[in-house]
Amino acid sequence: MRLTKMAHACVRLEKDGQTLVIDPGGFSEQDAASGADAILVTHEHADHFDEGRLRAALESRPGAEIWTLKSVAEQIAAAFPGRVHTVGHGDTFTAAGFDVQVHGELHAVIHPDIPRITNVGYLVDGGRVFHPGDALTVPEVPVETLMLPVMAPWNKISEVIDYVREVGPQRTYDIHDALLTDLARPIYDHQIGTLGGAEHLRLTPGATAEV
């Protein structure tokens, strides 16, 4: 499949003429979800879920559908009957020709005083790609390509490195990187690449790779 990195946490996957988009949030391009046959949303935070982007995508493509957790589905389902599906940990489904498994239940801890919200990760095509959203969820199956959240208010680089080691993917691609400056990127690239135990890769927004 072809993977296109969009800004921040959003990725587009293309296979057999169909397009699956994950987390077209407010930090991503306005057209991040345009042309999608299916959209997956990991949780309700604005950098992952933008109602305007989702509405525009569904209105412009009548066959497009969304799979997401309850907190997001409640905000958009009424406007698109039958096209918004609620999922949770352990669910499996097919979206735009991609087989998807749902892993995880809670967002990572930002601070003990901030209540945790729900968050799910999506394992695509039996482990070809895993997008964890805002959590360090470890699927109980081998992962080829891990979309790696490298910079967030809820993580530090040692946790990111240990996460790569625990998942044990063949390769990682950075996501959740809008807060990571160009000045700091070489440090992250070196540390994660040297210590993570997997090929560590990075795509600029709009760039593609075959996975």
Per-residue pLDDT of 131-183, as tens digits, reads: 999 999 999 999 999 999 999 999 999 999 999 999 999 999 999 999 999 99
Domain holding 179, by residue range, is 2-210
**pTM of structure:** 0.97
Helix (H) / strand (E) element for 145: namely strand 145-149
pLDDT at 16: 97
Count of structural domains, the chain: 1
H or E, element range at 158 = helix 157-167
To the nearest whole number, what is the mean pLDDT of the chain? Answer: 97
Helices (H), 67-119: 70-76
Q: If you search the block for the tokens 């005083």, which residue do you land on?
A: 113
- Give the CATH number of the domain where residue 20 resides: 3.60.15.10
CA dist 43 → 51, 94, 101, 191, 204 (Å):
12, 19, 16, 28, 23
| Residue 191, both tokens | 């540390």
